[in-house]
Structure 1
Amino acid sequence: MASQLVVRACPPFRVPGQDSTEAAAGLERSARRLLDGAELERARAMVQPARSDFLAGRIVQRLFAAELLGVRAKDLAASYTCPQCGSGAVISHGTPGYTREGGAPAPLLLSLSRAAGWTLLAAVVQPAPKQRLGVDAEDPQLMEFDGFDAVALTPAERQAVAPLTGGALLRERARLWARKEALLKMTGEGLRRAPETLDVLDRHGVRDLAPSESGLPGHLAAAVAFG
């Protein structure tokens, strides 16, 4: 059976009108119950609101993985992989993964992205050997700064966006950037590869995610790379 991609969007954990201190405290309690030492240590080095956003993302990712695997969230142990730092329980960045009780790797590909408070998750259960996955979400409002095209887009991409202005330009920048980020997450290169050298206008293995598939609000851009 072919490996199936599952995508899920989780809304911002902060509820309008709710006291931010109360919300953060509740999140911290959930994190201490569900997350591992390396994840908690990384969170402690952050300031708000980045800390709460990080914890919320890690919690929903773990719950998502547990649901897909049919296990309890607390029975999973985080095991991230970084090309420079290695992999295992002491790594809290890079490509996400989990081990189950006994230390066996969970048969699951995972990727996570955050934009405008939303968390976008993608997973493949029982992936084929050497399959890889990357997902990304972007807020077009963050694409409005001088020099973006020069540092982020290839010559062909710059030519494609040249006729656009205003909101249409920002949306297309966000779409292309989401495709680049998703692909670089899939390959594990991240931004160690210069994005202006990576053309994604018609790139095999990466595609846009429509709001109906991603679950994100329509103003956000999203893409997935899988192969």
Structure 2
Amino acid sequence: MASHLVVRACPPFRVPGQHTAPPAAELERDALRFLDPPELERARAMMPVPRQDFLAARVAQRRFAAELLGVRAQDLTVRYSCPRCGSGPRVTHGRPGYELDGAPAPLLLSLSRAAGWTLLAAVAEPGPGQRLGVDAEDPRRLDFDGFDAVALTPAEYRALAPLQGSALLRERARLWARKEAFLKMTGEGLGRPPETLDVLDRAGVRDLASAESGLPDGLAAAVALG
């Protein structure tokens, strides 16, 4: 199996006026069938809407991984890793991964959610030390005062200074997606202040156009691979 990046977008669980998404009962059945007890335990603590979003994303991720590995989704055991919490069967956050037959599955994974959409990225048979991060952002979430001060480097701030309105929000979302993707790849997350990370021309991170990501044009997305 050659090592290459695969990206897939999954539409929102709830689509008003359409019937492309499974009913809630079907989602619950899939979750009970495919997800591990710690994931289900985490979901039970959530309110109904976040719970459905969480379950839909986790089921989609597991099916995606199983498809790329050529195995059944129920043959995988979730193994997340977190810089603070470590890894193990009880960890359900951080960098996603799976075990297959008791050994780490040869697959890098990253997941992001925005505006109800789930964006998945994977590299099968990754090289030694290879890392992956993906992120999707809704520009509407970034329409608040103070964003530039806490999120942008001086160079990024100067690049955005001439912009206004929707153009400003789109560029904020593009840069924020690049930052999140890069920090997921390195494992630092927001433990590293985002205003110290310049992503205007950073090697290893690039934008994902909607034609590649499968997301609507209104959302921004980026991937980091290194």
Quote the residue 1:88 is aligned against.
88
Report 1:129-140 matches (<5 A): 129-140=128-139
Stretches of structure 1 that go unaligned for 5 or more consecutive residues are: none
The 2-side partners of 1:179 and 1:71 are apart by 32
Quote the residue 2:141 is aligned against.
142
Which secondary structure state, in structure 1, belongs to the residue aligned with residue 145 of structure 2?
coil
Quote the offset at 1:48 in angstroms: 2.4
Which secondary structure state, in structure 1, belongs to the residue aligned with residue 104 of structure 2?
coil
Answering whether residue 206 of structure 2 is matched by residue 207 of structure 1, we say yes
Quote the offset at 1:14 in angstroms: 1.4
Quote the offset at 1:18 in angstroms: 7.2
Identical residues among aligned pairs (%): 75
The 1-side partners of 2:3 and 2:135 are apart by 20
Deviations 1:161-220 (A, max 9, x none): 000000000000000000000000000000011101110000000000001100100110
The 2-side partners of 1:12 and 1:37 are apart by 24
Runs of 4+ in 1 over 3 A off after TM superposition: none
The 2-side partners of 1:145 and 1:134 are apart by 26
| AA matched with 1:137 | A
Report 1:17-28 matches (<5 A): 17=17, 23-28=23-28
Quote the residue 1:16 is aligned against.
16
The 1-side partners of 2:122 and 2:189 are apart by 19
2:2/2:125 contact within 8 Å kept? no
The 2-side partners of 1:123 and 1:184 are apart by 16
Deviations 1:32-65 (A, max 9, x none): 1110011111111111211110100000000000
Quote the residue 2:219 is aligned against.
220
| AA matched with 2:8 | R
Quote the residue 1:69 is aligned against.
69
Report 1:25-104 matches (<5 A): 25-101=25-101, 103-104=102-103
RMSD of the TM alignment (CA)?
1.5
Q: How many residues are aligned here?
A: 224
2:2/2:124 contact within 8 Å kept? no
Deviations 1:51-107 (A, max 9, x none): 110100000000000000000000000000111111121110000000012x11100
Which secondary structure state, in structure 1, belongs to the residue aligned with residue 48 of structure 2?
coil
The 1-side partners of 2:190 and 2:46 are apart by 21
The 2-side partners of 1:186 and 1:27 are apart by 29
Which secondary structure state, in structure 2, belongs to the residue aligned with residue 178 of structure 1?
helix
Report 1:133-172 matches (<5 A): 133-172=132-171
Out of 118-127 and 86-95, give the one that drifted further: 86-95
| AA matched with 1:192 | G
| AA matched with 2:56 | A
Q: TM-score, normalised by structure 2?
A: 0.96
| AA matched with 2:35 | L
Report 1:187-202 matches (<5 A): 187-202=186-201
